[in-house]
Structure 1
Amino acid sequence: MILTGPEIARGVAAGEIHIDDFTPARLEPNSYSFRLAPKLLRYEDEVLDSFRPPRVTELAIGEEGCLLEPGRFYLGSTMEAMGSPRYAATLYACRSVCTLGVWIQFSAPLGHCGSVFPWTLEITVANPVRVYSGMVIGKLAFWAMQGEAHQYDGKYSGSTAVVASRLSTEVRGS
């Protein structure tokens, strides 16, 4: 069952949902709007190897914004650390961003209960698009779970900003 905006606010007040810099004005009917953090990562290797950490370049989003180019893959993050020890969450782009041809999450939208951190965004664009730090870029929805809850304790636990792939930390053949 998806939580309504007022139920998200109640969960934040009760300590059941964590949202840094919670602002009631960013509540939606069934989600909370989040903002783009001021740092992006771009992979530099021509070929990415699943068993080697990727080389990345860090891009700072200044006041003039950052121009994203088609054919490039960027990693960004939410400005807010968000999550819950009680609810699962799913991340979505906001419609206004999508209709500019910006995709922010297309393969890993699920946040397990217990995962509370700035979410890494998988960003590609159809056309050149300028983005700005602090702009609302997406929404997080919270879901009640059925069954025994197990808290997330994965390789991205403790993240404080955008994170490149950590697939190389897994053992081959596991």
Structure 2
Amino acid sequence: MPSYPTPSYASSYARSGPRRRTLLTGAAATAGAVLLSGCSDSGSAEDERSSAADRLRAGAARDSGELLGRYDAVLAAHPSLAGRLDPLRAEVKRHKTAFADGLATPSASASPASAASPSSSPSAPPVPTDEKDAVRELAKAERELAKRRGSALLDAPDELARLLASVAAAGAAHAYLLTEGDK
């Protein structure tokens, strides 16, 4: 192969300093380091979000368990309300199970046996002796819990936010159904 002489003007274009390939290699290494450090930071942020979501789920399952205890207490005090309250109680039980099933740690979730059996909550307030007052108290508890869940969904991850929104809407519907007979 013939060798071609370098033109004399080529030396005037020669740059002093690093070549383009060196700069690109250095930039790639720097970008890689930034990405790696970003991954480790986002990993811990992801863990924090997952932990916060688990706490939110556990709290929602506990709240549903407490509401279920209220239903059980009212039904024990006023068995004649079973026809009206049983369908709503069954929904609350499903809500508790839905929240508990999504928990990452089995120790934080309710056991299937406790989710299946009716149990009264020790923190449930005393049941009024008047049926209408007892139902009104249930409606108030449903309404308050629906409001808290509506507020909590703003900070929840997508899937949990949808579940919270759905259960909050169901709670609001329960409150309406419980107070509908008062009108």
State if a TM-score over 0.5 links the two structures: no
Structure with greater helix percent? 2
Instruction: Name the structure, 1 or 2, with higher relative contact order (CA <8 Å, separation 6+).
Output: 1
Structure with greater strand percent? 1
Kindly name which structure, 1 or 2, has the bigger radius of gyration based on alpha carbons: 2
Relative to the length of structure 1, the TM-score reads 0.24
